[in-house]
Amino acid sequence: MSTFGGAASRPDFETAVLGELGLLYRVARRLAMNSTDAEDLVGQTLFSAARSWEGFDGRHTRSWLVTILKNQHLKSIRRKASRPKTVSIDDGGELSQGSLDAEIDRRAFVDDILRELDELPEDFRIAVALCDVEQMSYEDVAAALDIPIGTVRSRLFRGRRLLRERLKAWPSDYTAVDGADGKGKE
């Protein structure tokens, strides 16, 4: 969500955040590393955002929500001695009309790449997830993480390089699926 005009009325809380729930959950999954904690994290984020809604200017709702999500995650880390080591992969939705075998192969491939992404250090994992998976702009990611845009670019470069290194360890016949070759663009 972008900017709401100064004098124009901004949408209510529910309208403003409804379209961002999927993004919040996916980012929370990358942070929390499991579905249950991700759901809790999104719930805490929405609760905190609702309490702060009246003081929010209505601009850059997505970045604002991701910032709250990140802060809630950091609070959660402080409360826990260690982060869970397991990764839960949820079903991504309905199968397409195409070949069932091809769709199953594609989903398995994507799930495996996301598991490799989950193994990256948190700073790199979040930058890659927000920019490459969630397709947020560098500016929005910088605002959400409260870091300079140069730091976003650096974390993306290093995170993509680490991910590429992890993917190079895959068997060559596996990385050939759908033309993937472990090479990415910078």
In order of their start, the domains of the chain are: 13-79 (1.10.1740.10), 100-179 (1.10.10.10)
- Candidate from 106-110, 136-140, 156-160, 162-166 with smallest mean pLDDT: 106-110
**Average pLDDT for 145-173:** 87
pLDDT of residue 134: 85
Torsion of CA 18, 106, 112, 93, to 10 degrees: 30
**139-152 CB burial, b ≥16 within 10 A, e <16:** ebbbbbbeeeeeeb
- Model confidence at 90, in pLDDT bands (50, 70, 90)? very low
Q: Cβ(163)–Cβ(112) under 8 Å?
A: no
How far is residue 128's CA from residue 148's CA, in Å, rounded to a whole number? Answer: 15
What HEC string does 96-112 produce?
CCCCHHHHHHHHHHHHH
pLDDT tops 80 at residue 12: yes
